Amino acid sequence: MKRILLITLFIFLGTTLISLADDVKFINALKNCSSYSESGTINTEGLNVNSHKQILGWDNDKCVYQEKVNFSGTNSSMVCKFNKSQINELVNVMEAYNTVQMYSPQEIDTSSYEKVKNNPVVKVWGKYLQDSSVCTLTNN
């Protein structure tokens, strides 16, 4: 069970890094907490992962982000409620990351957690994904 939880956490980090870190539309939507939706499939840790991400908007003073993933018959869902300070941190790291990536000839290898664990986007998202007062993760 712990292995599934760790794989699920990595998948959320990996899918977020891969498909959102360089997506200006997502970053702008997060910055303003405006409606956003994206679906896709990636391969990471040898698994085909279907992912659906949404920014649902403001709930009182929190911006609601939801992501659902499916891999190997496992359905997982994560809901995060970010305050303005947390949104600013996520956006600032992602924008800085984009700037560096524009001038980097290397593609990011996201095939395993070991390859991405020191990435600043993974670190900042990981901090919140592991904080149960911000994000909740459920496996079905």
pLDDT at 58: 97
pLDDT at 38: 86
pLDDT exceeds cutoff 80 at 77: yes
pLDDT at 100: 73
CA distance 133 to 66: 15
* Range in 20-34, 98-112, 125-139 the model is least confident about: 98-112
- Which residues is 82 bridged to in the sheet? 63
Closest by CA position to 33, among listed 62, 53, 67: 62
In this structure, the number of other CB atoms found within 10 A of the CB of residue 16 comes to 23
Work out whether the CA dihedral 132, 82, 42, 115 comes out positive or negative.
negative
pLDDT at 1: 42
Percent of the chain whose predicted confidence (pLDDT) is above 70: 69
